[in-house]
Structure 1
Amino acid sequence: MKQTDVGKLLNSISKKTFVKYYETFKDTDISHQEMIDRLALDSQKFTPTSRANKTSTARRIFREGLEIEALLIIVGSRADLDTVEKARKLLDMELENNNLSGRAGRMSKDICGNIICIDFGKWFQDNYSNKKIEDVEFKKNLVLRDDVEKLSEFIKNKKEVVETIKNKKEVDTYKQVEGVLVIEKIEGISSVEAYSDEDNLSSIKEIDCILSEIVDKNIVHKSLLKKLVGIDIIAINNLWRLFQENVCKIQTYILINPFGDGVNKRFNDILMIINSIFFNNSKSIDYLSAIRAVSLSWMKEESLKNILFYKFNPEKYSSDEINDKIQSSIKFLNDDIRFTFSKYIYAYQEVLKTFLEQSGKQIYIEKISNYPLFLEFGACSKISLELMSLGIFREGSIELSKHILGENSQEIINELKHLDFGANKMNDYLKRKLREKIKLIR
């Protein structure tokens, strides 16, 4: 829906009414008729038809997910100062409570795995639910059967192929399959014997030959490669050699606490290494600077609003431009930082940890800050992370951490159950959302 349409909807409600009853309009537990009755109690000037129309229109805004756009219009309008200020606070809350908690379950511990999809349309058919796991076709087998020539070309000319393939998921799939085949090769499994038939024999032989050369040059232990399936084995080896060449100053390669002294330079240096090793220096300096700045703000528990508007003053732009900025910023935070760079930072740190173990420098391992975990949750304090692990959204966890003294889950749960919200300076919307979450904690 275009902005002008939302503007028309707002005008039919009135900006003041929309802001005043925002939370009530949004609450789906309140029925349509109850909402109409509330308007009747609070304002006698609305006719029954007017109250019904205002309720229907407001509910439509929320139903179609247009509430942020509506608030942006009000903030940029000439409505009375009280209405604009209330809209601004509501907008802040909507942005703050967007937890961006996708990919639940990975928890920065695994960068790959098998996903088994069940066709529920067939699930209740006779014998379908008894289908054996051996009958499930895994992605690796499908690629080796249907896309073996593309896979072969990818393994031979990775850099050139990556530049021509627009679908990132396709690239990731080929990386995963290559990684699995490398592990199997190290374990003595021949791709020719395991996967070839009369249709793909030539391509499989070619793949097996290339993998043999890669494995022969590998200096990294198999256990590390298993952790990093999907990460280019040549890049892993190059990073290992970098650590070998600089073993005397290896402590300078450790990522320090986001609040630590010198964190900007250290993080910048390591991002430059990651760009060189894993991205062939394809990322620009400005791009890496944005990754560093936004990542640190995110990990240091800054408000989502400030992060989304990095180097952007919303007062100078139209609501359409602000919406575009919000969307691009969320994509940058989720796709570029919390997925792509989190994955390669994880790979970097796993290589470093294994190198430190094998070099007799275990003392440094405990000094490594868990950036992948911090980037996943958008926090680095123990209490905030504990609260989020209990299911509380990011901004609520950050606010609650100011009032919680316990450090383990049980202590925190006990405090939450007896927390006096009346004594805390939180806005009513946040208090209500937190109460709802805390009730669910057992």
Structure 2
Amino acid sequence: MKWLEAMVRRALNDPYLDELTRKLEYKYAHIFLYQKDDILLTEKEFDDVLRFADILSRSDKADGRNKAYKIVSLLYDVYKDNVQFQYYANSILTKLGNFASLSIAVGNSEIVDTIETALEKQIKKTYQKVPFNDLVFTDPQYKLFEAMKDSNHYSFSGPTSFGKSFIMDAFIQYIITERHGIDNIVILVPTRALINQVTARLKKTITNKNYKVLAHPVVPMIYRNRMLKYVFVFTPERLISYLGEKENPVINYMFVDEAHKIIAEKDSRSPLYYHAILLAERKSIKLYFASPNIPNAHVFLQLFEKSIDEQMIIKESPVAQNRFFIDYVEGKGRMFTETGEDIIFQDLGKKEQDYVGKLLRKLGKNCKNIVYCNTVADTIDFALKFSKGLPEQNDARIDSLIELIKSYIHKDYFLIDCLKKGVAFHFGRLPQRIRERIERLFEEKVIDYMFCTSTLLEGVNLPAKNIFIFSNAIGNSKFSDVDFWNLAGRAGRLSKELSGNIICVRIEDKKNRWDNPNKDLEVVRNKKIEAVKPLVINGQKNFYTNLDYSLRNKDFTRANYSQTEKEVWDHYANIVFSHQASKTDSILMSNFLRKNADGKKLLERMEKENHIPLYILEQCSNIKVIYQNKVWEKIKESESAFPNEITTQTCLEVLEKMYDYYNWGEEESKGRNPMVKQRTRLQYFAVLMYSWMKSTPLNMMIIYIINYYKRKGEIWDRNEMVIFNPNDRNQINLIINNLISDIDNVLRFKIKNYFLNYYLIVSEKVGKQNAGANWAEYVEYGTTDDIIIELQNIGLPRHLSMMIKDDYIDFLTFEDGMLVDLNARELIENIDCKKYKNEIEELKEMIL
């Protein structure tokens, strides 16, 4: 209907609509910032703006539909009880297919539908019903779902609030049902932090009893014997490990969540993502990519040489967002409007005592608030300072979490101080067990304020009414437009509210704290996201030259590249060589050969000199080929990989060997958070590794490391070595956060990868039967006990696996040393509720 779209275009270009929209935004800003409803609409203006919204909602393009929704959201707070507003909101939101927002906007009012609205509502509720539940897709969600059903691979992007996970879960249910449960499926997530969240969600949504949700790259015997099918939730390294085992069940479909991580230039894990997906693609696994806000979503299909036609860019958002900037340095604020003309407020941003706390309390009252602070130190500092100005909470759920933190971590952990006031902090170093409890309390609105780092950018599903952004950087790097809108897009929760607020706050004149407002605020003002340009495809920044230099073990084209950039080039160079060894034809390989004249001769020469089998090169793509071959040459025929006895001393001896074999003094001593700045650091990791592999509980490990620093007498704090004071809570918290980070990022990732590489090479050279124990497995699972490892493989976390093994092993059945049955109901009925109060609730959620 061209005449209708022409009418929509006329409306969008009407100066009167701009005037009305600006007045609505000015009205909203006064209510939000001052709690004053002193900007009044005339009856005519109210009637006209609703008519405009009704016209715009009939558009088939996102800009008109978004504008219609924005008008409804701006009117809602003041006019939600107005019958005329309810009548129009009912019609507009029905046309948008946004029934989640419709239930909020109209509530329980008895609006009588027009024939047109009633018919459209009935059609959409019938045809756009989500399979297997009572929810209804929005119009763009339905359009995407239908397109994916008819494809063998697909890539889509949309706003953070669009519901990408919701779509993926629905599509998985569709695959399982329509294909009669014959397929195994993978969801690929960027970090371990997301695994538990996604697995817990899938266990609730997948109703087919023939499917199990697993997160480790090992299918336990307890399930193999039952001829089940699986939905796996893997990080890239776990996917690589799974694909490397030929006996594992075949995977048919893979969903790549947060797909933009594959091409992130400033993420050292991006080559691992690329490598894992390419290995999957070579096994004919059907690929589906989901990413936030990327305007050229086809780029992921192009990267893996798929047809770029099967893609969709969703620009329509189911939640509206209002954008503010409050500047305490210049003493003013502004609202970024839909018309592009800022509304300036001169009397905002006055500095006074506890000015940040007053801002958060005023704007965040009675709603959920996320406060982005960038660094861990700033996140904890802001959370502690803010919580001091609040009264103590009297809530049994908070008290329960505090008791858990005291017993599981330490009585002096700063999170306890914050939780007492209904405040929390959230970052990657928090133990998964604690982080999940915090997220649940935040979702239930027991906690109203969450201070966080960039962990939320990894895909953690944690929306809120308000997002306060205190820093415009991740680490030392300014936000990219994708990163900013991935974070800011969490303002507003579909089915909970019609809109959210993005509040960028300049607290002081300091680097990476909105210190250059004119330039820094462009991404907020324009809402424009540039097309992404993958290094593998475009080769910018001397990408392929530096890959060549890495393979030749030469210095890169410049000396001042960041450590992350160097790690990315080294890793891609290793992948290029593995493609040479496997004769893989990839965009990476073809571009490398095209841009480096002598590249083919170099790779052929390296291949002749190489002793490492392909499966090891693919499993260990992050380790330079030159080091792997040096390890091969040093291994003696009678040598086992690791000592039979695990002590602090043998741990230190192994780490010393790894330090020399893999050149850690050069490869792992650079950047912002190096593994080993000095060789003496290995003593700390020996203590940590011994405790971890010996199944030591986290709280005891913390005590052991505190005692280690007592013996040492000094600690590295804020870029200097200082005297260690065991009574200094700041130092205790520093130890705790560093220890948890070192377990996850150093032991279970970096050191595990080196151990795995060494074990595989030794096994290949002397035979697996002579290679001895695989310490890489012990480091991954945090134990040497096969029973605890087996329990983790079926989906239980380390602490629950240790509890069951120690106190309730009678409820497990073994055959030939393998777990073949777990009597879940009797186990739970017999657990000591007083001793294991927290554990029993966790266990119920996981195995019942």
TM-score range, shorter chain: 0.5 to 0.7
Match of 2:787 in 1: 383
Compared with structure 1, are the counterparts of its residues 435 and 163 closer, same or farther at alpha carbon in structure 2 (3 Å cutoff)? farther
Whole-angstrom CA distance in 1 between matches of 2:576 and 2:747: 28
Please report how far the alpha carbon of residue 216 of structure 1 lies from its aligned counterpart in structure 2 after TM superposition.
Answer: 3.1
Q: Whose relative contact order is higher, 1 or 2, with alpha carbons under 8 Å and at least 6 apart?
A: 1
Quick check: 1:175–1:232 contact (8 Å CA) kept in 2?
yes
Post-superposition offset of 1:239: 0.7
1:393 maps to 797
Instruction: Give the drift of 1:238.
Output: 0.8
Structure 1 residue 328 corresponds to structure 2 residue 717? no
Is contact 2:665-2:679 (8 Å) kept?
A: no
| 1:184 corresponds to | 579
User: Structure 1 residue 303: deviation in Å?
Assistant: 1.2
Separation of aligned partners in 1, 2:692 and 2:727: 24
Number of the residue aligned with 2:629: 237
Find the aligned partners of 1:192 and 1:430 in 2 and give their Cα distance: 49
Distance of aligned partners of 1:324 and 1:189 in 2 relative to their CA distance in 1, 3 Å threshold: closer
Q: Provide the residue aligned with 2:760 in structure 1.
A: 350
Could you say if the C-alpha distance between residues 371 and 140 of structure 1 is closer, same or farther in structure 2, counting changes exceeding 3 Å? farther
CA gap of 1:438–1:191, structure 2 versus 1, over 3 A, is: closer
Counterpart for residue 408 of structure 2 = none
The answer to whether 1:13 aligns with 2:392 is yes
**Do the aligned residues in 2 keep the contact of 1:155 with 1:207 (CA within 8 Å)?**
no
Alpha-carbon deviation of 1:164?
Answer: 5.2
Q: 1:352 to 1:143 in 2, by over 3 A?
A: farther
Distance 2:623 2:582 in 1: 18
Match of 2:690 in 1: 296
The CA deviation at 1:13 is: 1.8
Letter of the 2:798 counterpart: R
Say if 2:828 and 2:840, in contact at 8 Å, map to a contact too.
Answer: no
Q: 1:135-154 to 2 correspondence within 5 Å? A: 140-141=536-537, 143=539, 147-154=543-550
Offset of 1:353 from its aligned partner? 0.5
Match status 1:175 vs 2:579:
no
Change in CA separation of 1:97 and 1:318 when aligned onto 2, cut-off 3 Å: farther
Q: Deviations over 1:329-388 (max 9, x none)?
A: 22211111111110011000000000013xxxx5314xx223222222222212212222
Confirm whether residue 404 of structure 1 aligns to residue 809 of structure 2. Answer: yes
Q: Is 1:22 aligned to residue 399 of structure 2?
A: yes
State the Cα distance separating 1:310 from its structure 2 match.
4.3
- The residue correspondences of 1:153-168 to structure 2 (distance < 5 A) are 153-158=549-554, 165-168=561-564
Alignment match of 1:306 (pick from 700, 709, 728): 700
CA displacement 1:91-119 (0-9 Å, x = unmatched): 9x959999xxxx9xxxxxxxxxxxxxxxx
Q: Distance in 2 between matches of 1:301 and 1:193?
A: 42
Deviation string for 1:66-105 (max 9, x for gaps)?
A: 9x99xxxxxxxxxxxxxxxxxxxxx9x959999xxxx9xx
In the alignment, which of 419, 429, 438 is matched to residue 838 of structure 2?
429
- Name the CA distance, whole Å, in 1 between partners of 2:396 and 2:749: 36
1:429 and 1:382 mapped to 2: Cα distance?
25
CA gap of 1:339–1:223, structure 2 versus 1, over 3 A, is: closer
Q: Tell me the CA shift for residue 20 of structure 1.
A: 9.2
Alignment correspondent of 2:651: 267
The answer as to whether partners of 2:574 and 2:623 remain within 8 angstroms in 1 is yes
- Name the structure 1 match of 2:155: none
* 1:388 alignment partner AA: Q
Q: Structure 1 residues 324 and 268, CA, compared in 2 at 3 Å: closer, same or farther?
A: closer
Note if 1:216 corresponds to 2:593: no
Unaligned 5+ runs, structure 2: 1-381, 404-418, 439-457, 459-485, 490-532, 667-675, 711-724
Hey, which of these two has a bigger chunk of helix by percent? Answer: 1
Is the contact made by 2:643 and 2:650 (CA closer than 8 Å) also made in structure 1?
yes
Give the whole-Å Cα distance in 1 for the aligned partners of 2:652 and 2:539: 37
Higher strand share: 2
Distance change (3 Å), C-alpha of 1:187 and 1:94: closer
Q: Distance between the aligned counterparts of 1:317 and 1:331, measured in 2?
A: 22
- Number of aligned positions between the proteins: 332
Partner residue of 1:61 out of 399, 406, 423: 423
Instruction: State the distance in 2 between where 1:299 and 1:163 align.
Output: 39
Bigger radius of gyration, 1 or 2? 2
| DSSP 3-state at the match of 1:311 | helix
Letter in 1 for 2:782: G
Compared CA separation, residues 401 and 165, structure 1 to 2 (3 A):
farther
Is the contact between residue 181 and residue 191 of structure 1 (CA under 8 Å) also seen in structure 2?
no
Q: Are 2:771 and 1:371 aligned?
A: no
- Contact 1:421/1:431 (CA < 8 Å) preserved in 2? no
Letter in 2 for 1:182: F
- Rate the CA distance shift 1:142–1:276 in 2: closer, same or farther, 3 A: farther
Q: CA 1:206 to 1:435, structure 2 compared with 1: closer, same or farther past 3 Å? A: same
Which residue does 2:120 correspond to in 1? Answer: none
Q: Percent identity?
A: 15
| Aligned pair partner of 2:639 in 250, 274, 279 | 250
* Cα shift at 1:219: 3.1
Deviation at 1:161, TM superposition (A): 8.0
Match among 619, 634, 650 for residue 227 of structure 1 = 619
CA distance in 2, matches of 1:372, 1:263: 16
Q: What's the TM-score, normalizing by structure 1?
A: 0.61
Amino acid at match of 1:156: R
Contact kept, 8 Å, 1:383 with 1:401, in 2: the verdict is yes
Structure-2 change in CA distance of 1:304 and 1:321 (3 Å): same
Deviation at 1:171, TM superposition (A): 3.4
> 1:163 Cα deviation (Å)?
8.3
Q: Which runs of 5+ in 1 are unaligned?
A: 27-56, 70-90, 104-119, 122-136
Higher mean alpha-carbon deviation, 262-271 vs 370-379, is at 262-271
Please, what TM-score do these two structures have when normalized by structure 2? 0.34
Tell me the SS of whatever aligns to 2:799. helix
SS at match of 2:642: coil
CA, structure 1 residues 219+426, in 2 after alignment: closer, same or farther (shift >3 Å)?
Answer: same
Task: Give me the whole-angstrom Cα distance separating, in 2, the residues matched to 1:237 and 1:25.
Answer: 50
SS in 2 for 1:392: coil
Is this contact kept in 1: 2:578–2:614, CA < 8 A?
yes
Q: Distance in 2 between matches of 1:300 and 1:377?
A: 10
- Report the secondary structure of 2:823's partner residue: helix
Contact 2:576–2:588 at 8 Å: present in 1 too?
no
RMSD over aligned Cα, in angstroms? 4.6
